[in-house]
Structure 1
Amino acid sequence: MKRRLIHRIPVRVRHYWKLLATCAATLLAFAVVFSTVRVAPLVTSASDENGDKVTVDIAGTTDLFDAARAHSIKLTFRDENYQELLDSFWDEGEKEYLEADLTLDGTTIPSVGIRLKGNSTLQSLTRNGESRQTGRSGGAGMRGGGMPGGGFPGGGQQGAPQGEQGAPQGQQGGFPGGGMMGGGGRTELKTEEPENLPWLIRFDEFVEGRRYQGHREVSVRVGGMGGGATVLNEAVSLDVLAAAGEPAQKYSYTSFTVNDRPTTARLIVEHPDENFADDLGANGVLYKSLSTSQFTDQGDDQTEYADDFKQINKKGSQDLQPVIDLIRWVNTATDTEFAEHLGDHVDVESFARYVATQNLLVNFDDMAGPGKNYYLWYDLTTKKFSVVGWDYNLTLSGSATQDPTQSVSMGGGGMRGGGQQGGGDFQPPEGMEAPQGGGGRGGFMSGHKLKERFLASSAYQDVYQQQYKALYNKIYGNAAALNRITEITKVIGTVDGSNAETTATDAENLTTLIRERTQFLATSEFLTE
Structure 2
Amino acid sequence: MLPRRIAHRIPVRVRHYWKLLATCAATLLAFAVVFSTVRVAPLVTSASDESGDEVSVNIAGTTDLFDATRAHTIKITYRTEAYEELLDSFWKDGEKEYLEADLTIDGTTVPSVGIRLKGNSTLQGITRDGEARQGGFGGGRGAMPQGAMPQGGLPEGGGGFRMGGGGGRTSLKTEEPETLPWLIRFDEFVEGRRYQGHREIAVRVGGMGGGAAVLNEAVSLNVLAAAGEVTQRYAYTSFTVNDRPATARLIVEHPDENFADAIGGNGVLYKSMASSQFTDQGDDPTEYADDFKQINKKGSQDLQPVIDLIRWVNTAGDAEFDEHLDEHVDVASFARYAAIQNLLVNFDDMAGPGRNYYLWYDLDAKRFSVVGWDYNLTLSGSATQDPAESVSMGGGGMRGGGGDFQPPEGMELPQGGQMPQGGQMPGGGRGGFGGHKLKERFLASAAYKDTYRKAYKELFNKIYGNASALNALDAITEVIGTVDGANAESTATDAENLRTLIRERTQFLVTNEIITG
TM-score bracket for this pair, using the shorter chain length? 0.7 to 0.9
Separation (CA, whole Å) in 2 of partners of 1:135 and 1:152: 11
Q: Offset of 1:32 from its aligned partner?
A: 3.7
Distance 1:210 1:394, change over 3 A: same
In the other structure, the counterpart of 2:45 is 44
Distance 1:138 1:422, change over 3 A: closer
Note the alpha carbon deviations across 1:338-357, whole angstroms, 9 max, x for none: 11110110000000000000
In the other structure, the counterpart of 2:116 is 115
Q: Which amino acid aligns with 2:98?
A: Y
**TM-score normalized with structure 2 length:** 0.86
In the other structure, the counterpart of 2:292 is 309
Separation (CA, whole Å) in 1 of partners of 2:135 and 2:273: 25
Moved more, 76-85 or 322-331: 76-85
1:201 aligns with 2:184: yes
Separation (CA, whole Å) in 2 of partners of 1:385 and 1:425: 33
- Choose which of 142, 154, 161 in structure 2 pairs with 1:153: 161
In the other structure, the counterpart of 1:142 is 145
Separation (CA, whole Å) in 1 of partners of 2:378 and 2:288: 28
Distance 1:137 1:355, change over 3 A: closer
* 8 A Cα contact 1:285 1:380, kept in partner: yes
Aligned residues: 468
Separation (CA, whole Å) in 1 of partners of 2:330 and 2:394: 30
Separation (CA, whole Å) in 2 of partners of 1:187 and 1:54: 37
1:523 aligns with 2:511: yes
Separation (CA, whole Å) in 2 of partners of 1:211 and 1:480: 34
Q: Offset of 1:88 from its aligned partner?
A: 1.0
Q: Which amino acid aligns with 1:321?
A: Q
Separation (CA, whole Å) in 1 of partners of 2:492 and 2:75: 26
Structure 2 SS opposite 1:256: strand
**TM-score normalized with structure 1 length:** 0.84
Distance 1:423 1:413, change over 3 A: closer
In the other structure, the counterpart of 1:428 is 407
Distance 1:142 1:380, change over 3 A: same
Q: Offset of 1:516 from its aligned partner?
A: 0.4
In the other structure, the counterpart of 1:132 is 133
In the other structure, the counterpart of 1:372 is 355
* 8 A Cα contact 1:401 1:424, kept in partner: no
**Identical columns (%):** 79
Distance 1:136 1:358, change over 3 A: closer
In the other structure, the counterpart of 2:371 is 388
1:111-260 → structure 2 map (5 Å cutoff)? 111-133=112-134, 138-139=139-140, 142=145, 145=149, 151-157=159-165, 165-166=166-167, 182=168, 186-260=169-243
- Choose which of 482, 485, 494 in structure 2 pairs with 1:497: 485
Structure 2 SS opposite 1:124: coil
1:291-306 → structure 2 map (5 Å cutoff)? 291-306=274-289
Greater radius of gyration (CA): 2
- Choose which of 444, 463, 470 in structure 2 pairs with 1:482: 470
* 8 A Cα contact 1:428 1:434, kept in partner: no
Root-mean-square deviation (CA, aligned residues, Å) is 2.3
Separation (CA, whole Å) in 1 of partners of 2:360 and 2:319: 25
* 8 A Cα contact 1:154 1:428, kept in partner: no
Structure 2 SS opposite 1:73: strand
Q: Offset of 1:44 from its aligned partner?
A: 3.0
Q: Offset of 1:150 from its aligned partner?
A: 7.6
Q: Offset of 1:428 from its aligned partner?
A: 2.2
Structure 1 SS opposite 2:464: helix
Separation (CA, whole Å) in 1 of partners of 2:338 and 2:114: 35
Moved more, 205-214 or 132-141: 132-141
Distance 1:34 1:134, change over 3 A: closer
Structure 2 SS opposite 1:489: helix
Structure 2 SS opposite 1:485: helix
* 8 A Cα contact 1:408 1:424, kept in partner: no
Q: Offset of 1:425 from its aligned partner?
A: 8.3
In the other structure, the counterpart of 1:274 is 257
Separation (CA, whole Å) in 1 of partners of 2:29 and 2:276: 30
Note the alpha carbon deviations across 1:170-217, whole angstroms, 9 max, x for none: xxxxxxxxxxxx2xxx54200010000000000000111000000000
Structure 2 SS opposite 1:190: coil
Q: Offset of 1:492 from its aligned partner?
A: 0.4
Q: Offset of 1:423 from its aligned partner?
A: 3.4
Q: Offset of 1:478 from its aligned partner?
A: 1.8
Separation (CA, whole Å) in 1 of partners of 2:425 and 2:79: 44
Q: Which runs of 5+ in 2 are unaligned?
A: 1-27
